[in-house]
Amino acid sequence: MANGKRGLTSAELSSFCSQVALILSAGLPLYDGMETLAETAKGSEYADVYENASKAVNETGSLYQALQQDKRWPTYLVEMAGIGEQTGQLEKVMNGLADYYSREDRIRSSVVGAITYPLVLGVMLVLIVMVMLWKVLPVFQRVLNSMGAEMSRSGSMLMNLGSTIGWIVLALVGLVVLAVVIGAALMKTSARDNVLGVVRRLFPPVRRLSMKLASSRVASVLSMMLSSGFPTGEAFRLMPSILSDGEAAEKVQGIRKDLDNGEAFADAISRSRLFDGLHDRMIRMGVAAGREDQVMEKIAGMYEEQVEEGIAQMVAIIEPTLIALLSVVIGAILLSVMLPMAGILTSMF
């Protein structure tokens, strides 16, 4: 980020690319179109980003050079703009980028939704258990003491057990909630990749989703670059800049080395195991038919659907688990109080 300022969101990047493509398709000079975008963005959070880009385009006549001057533009977008200008297919590239960032925004929204709802449930669980332990349980204990009856040993143990369970669950859930909050804060800093790496190592389902997401990104990038006539080896040079998954980035580097050594495109892809067997066969068929870009676009969409389905399944598991845990903890605390009270009442009457 330049000057400590925040970069554009995926939704904003998609809108920008779509508008640039529209300017080019209408046959308008790029500098006129960028001035219009800067005017419409005045008063918004990203007004200075558009203003700087408009001035730079007016001075250089190049969108690539204009975006390169501001570090808030993603490296991938900047490089793809340069490729579009070199190949004379900037409009097509910008349309592809608009779709790419729109897909990124949908996935990001799914991830945020998957984290937010369980986090809210976790906070509710912590608050409810805290109220039970600090307010409700002491009231019952005072009621029992006021009855003037001595509690049995088993009743005392049961009450202590319920209280202990409550405190343990409160501590565990509190730590998880705190870890999620801290992790979400770190995701907005330079430690983002380290946080993602830790999460992937700790949670195998997240690791699998991360690999599918990386596969979707690689397929999407290849689709755009191959359709633009860009060399395949150079396409793999850019990919590490868009991959946060270290394992996927290593596989991409391996593919690039195999291609440099003269290995066929389909064979290099298959050797990397970046895609499933079914998708490897689709790629081979696409290469044979000369439709690699279309096949890659289809594969990107398929992996995107798998990522969204995987996120939905994780949420579907987490939600009832938290609700069941909440019910069990509250039930244990109440039983630890009600059973001794029932025993005392029975002995009194």
Q: What is the 3-state secondary structure (H, E, C) of 155-173?
A: HHHHHHHHHHHHHHHHHHH
* Cα–Cα dist 295/303, whole Å: 12
- What is each CA distance from 93 to 84, 90, 191, in whole angstroms? 6, 5, 31
What average pLDDT does the structure give for the chain?
77
Dump pLDDT digits (tens) for 56-65: 998 888 998 9
pLDDT at position 300: 83
Give alpha helix (H) positions in 61-191: 63-68, 75-87, 90-131, 137-146, 153-186
pLDDT at position 221: 77
- Arithmetic mean of pLDDT, 270-274: 86
pLDDT at position 4: 41
The answer to whether residue 105 scores a pLDDT higher than 70 is yes
| 251 CB-near residues (< 8 Å, 6+ apart) | 272, 273, 274
Dump pLDDT digits (tens) for 312-331: 777 777 777 777 777 777 77
Q: Where are the domains of the chain?
A: 2-73, 100-349
* Cα–Cα dist 282/266, whole Å: 10
The answer to whether residue 269 scores a pLDDT higher than 80 is yes
- Arithmetic mean of pLDDT, 239-268: 79
pLDDT at position 55: 92
pLDDT at position 18: 92
Q: How many CA atoms lie within 13 A of 307 on its CB side?
A: 25
Among 127-136, 245-254, 324-333, where is mean pLDDT lowest?
Answer: 324-333
- The token duo for 126 is 């912590």
pTM of the model: 0.64
pLDDT at position 331: 72
- Arithmetic mean of pLDDT, 336-340: 63
Tell which wins on pLDDT, 213 or 242: 213
Tokens 């990038």 found at: 221
Tell which wins on pLDDT, 191 or 250: 250
